Amino acid sequence: MSNKEIDIIELTAKTFNIFKKWMLLYIIFIAIGIGVGLYKYYNTQTYFKSSLIANSNFISNVHIADYIKSLNIEIKQNDCNACSKRLGISPENLKNIKNIDSEIIDNSSSNNYVYTKNKGVYGSNCIEIQIEVFDTSNINLITNGIIKYIDNIDYVKTTMQNTKQKALNIINKIDEEINEYDSLQTLFFKDNEKNIYTTVNYVNIINFLEQKADYELLLNSSSITVMKKFSMAYQIEKLGLSRSIIISILISSLAWFIIVFLLEIRKRVIIYNKSNK
């Protein structure tokens, strides 16, 4: 028998002895793993996942994303009464939310979304709000709640008021310009210069009216404009019973191996230090 074969036999024997030595701990870890697997299976609910695309005409979408993440933290902290008031939904509907997340997306090259004419002062970047719920029946309530939540943030509210006041001032200025053209129209008609008026001024009036319509749309906007509503939610199935148990056993076995490895290393270090004294 070669030395290599002897080394393999000795290593196998030592490994078996270590396993035998810590077998009771291993059984305990396996039992814990089975228990955790059963607990996760029977206490994990099937949930649904969906997302909407939105854009803000008032503040950066990056800020909106941060506010959504802060909202999710509040929900995770189970502060149901405060969150339900801020969202304008009942605590029961709030408990239906598993998770809310958000990220900034670039929709400038996509053909999948319907765009509003006014993409906002921050360009074509939009925000995708992802939601996980246990029941899809109140997704519309949650959408309205999210908009209400953002509308009532002090910074957002102040920015919206200032922006809308500027829009109102511009609308008033446009009305003044249109009135001047109306006065000019009367003058042209009186002098029988209808063709000149038509070719020169009608285009300008149409441009003014289009701009006015955009600013009026802004006046009636909330903090975010939903460009694509929550799509049909797809169901996220929970792990099967056997799969849940097997994964938990593997994790507990790995934990057992790491603990035993560290304990054996510690034991050998102690023996080595004693032998060198």
CATH number for position 58: 3.30.70
Residues 6 or more apart whose CB falls under 8 angstroms from that of 207 comprise: none
Q: Are residues 137 and 232 in the same domain?
A: yes
Task: Provide the domain limits for residue 189.
Answer: 160-219
Q: Are residues 127 and 173 in the same domain?
A: no
Q: What is the pLDDT of residue 238?
A: 63
Q: What is the pLDDT of residue 271?
A: 77
Q: Are residues 9 and 55 in the same domain?
A: no
Q: Are residues 90 and 53 in the same domain?
A: yes
Q: Are residues 69 and 144 in the same domain?
A: yes
Q: Which two structure tokens, joined as six digits, stand for 106? A: 């670039």
Q: How far apart are CA 175 and CA 167, in angstroms?
A: 12
Q: Are residues 228 and 138 in the same domain?
A: yes
Q: Are residues 62 and 143 in the same domain?
A: yes
Q: Are residues 54 and 129 in the same domain?
A: yes
Is the CB of residue 142 less than 8 Å from the CB of residue 89?
A: yes
Element (DSSP H or E) covering residue 192: none
Q: What is the pLDDT of residue 20?
A: 83
Surface-to-core class of residue 197, CB atoms within 10 Å of its CB (0-12 exposed, 13-18 middle, 19+ buried): middle
Is the CB of residue 251 less than 8 Å from the CB of residue 33?
A: yes
Q: How far apart are CA 271 and CA 267, in angstroms?
A: 6
Q: Are residues 82 and 112 in the same domain?
A: yes
Is the CB of residue 84 less than 8 Å from the CB of residue 150?
A: no
Total number of domains in the chain: 3
What would the pLDDT profile of 152-210 be if each residue is shown by its tens digit?
888 988 988 898 899 889 888 888 887 776 665 665 555 555 544 455 566 777 788 88
Q: Are residues 62 and 112 in the same domain?
A: yes
Q: Are residues 104 and 231 in the same domain?
A: yes
Q: Are residues 211 and 230 in the same domain?
A: no
Average pLDDT, the chain: 77
Backbone phi, psi, residue 231, to 5°: -75, 170
Q: Which two structure tokens, joined as six digits, stand for 202? A: 């009608």
